[in-house]
Chain A
Amino acid sequence: MSLGSILLYGLLGVVVAISGIGLITSRNAIYGALFLVLNFITVALLYIALGAPFIALAQVTVYAGSIMVLFLFVIMLLGAEQLPIAEPIRGQRILAILLFVAFLAEMALFVMLRGSPVVAGAPITPDFSTPATMGTLLFEQYLLPFEMTAGVLLAATVGAVFLTRSPRPERKSALPEAQQAGKESS
């Protein structure tokens, strides 16, 4: 493997790490969202390097595009860029660090105790993951999950609209009574 590709992968890994750290340390939620966009785009580059161009473009359009726009919209709508610094739950930080260390230990154990390392097969050909092959697999073998996903998206949309609607000002039921009262008085 050439030095250039090692440098490229190393750079991508460093950008992923830095943008992740930036997300969890940024005081301002807007900066956090922008760091996350950077992270998504870098991971999309990794997808392209892994021979998955369709997933990479879906990542950019769906994640870095629409989902993050939704996030930025809600952050600005609520004015939640900076929450006042309040006293955290007692011992929360210590507990969080403990759980984090426990997770890292588990992962280190997994990596060490894993059996034989994954051996890469032949390098993938360019026609391995074209949108055409993805679509064929999606609509032949995974048609039912695809339809269920459509149902989930519809339910989520309806649920989001239902959750954020403002309470009705009760005018429709009050209006006829007022008209009737007006007629009676006249």
Chain B
Amino acid sequence: MMPMSYFIGLSILMFAMGILGVLLRRNPLIVFMSLELMFNSANLLFVAFSAYHHVLDGQLFVFFVMTTAAAEVAVGLALIVAIFKAKRTIDLDQMSSLKG
């Protein structure tokens, strides 16, 4: 099997790219997809540690993360659609109605 550092490095890489996507992009859909990338990197670490320690619970946590991410995506996309209906734009910089 590959050394654990390979999976840790790959996971850090994916999480870092997700952070860059969330911080730099202003299209909320790309921001959401970057969030999914970060979920994915955490899942990869879960599965890798589960295989290295021979504990199956890590894989079940990935299962729960997947279902929760599906719920989060459904609500998030519904929010984006609702915001688009109200404001006719989904640029993140335009969503500043609560700004003092």
Contact = CB atoms under 8 A, between A and B. Distances in A.
A103 B75 CA distance: 28
Interface residues of B, number: 70
Main DSSP-derived SS at the A contact region: helix
Interface in B26-40: 26-27, 29-30, 32-34, 36-37, 40
B78 to A, nearest CB: 4
B61 to A, nearest CB: 9
A70 B60 contact: no
Contacts, number: 217
Interface of A: 1, 5, 9, 13, 16-17, 20-21, 23-24, 26, 29, 32-33, 36, 39-40, 43, 46-47, 49-52, 54-55, 58-59, 62-63, 66-67, 70-71, 74-75, 77-78, 80, 83-84, 86, 88-89, 92-93, 95-96, 99-100, 103-104, 107, 111, 117-118, 120-124, 128-129, 133-134, 137-138, 141-142, 145, 149, 152-153, 155-157, 159-161, 163-164
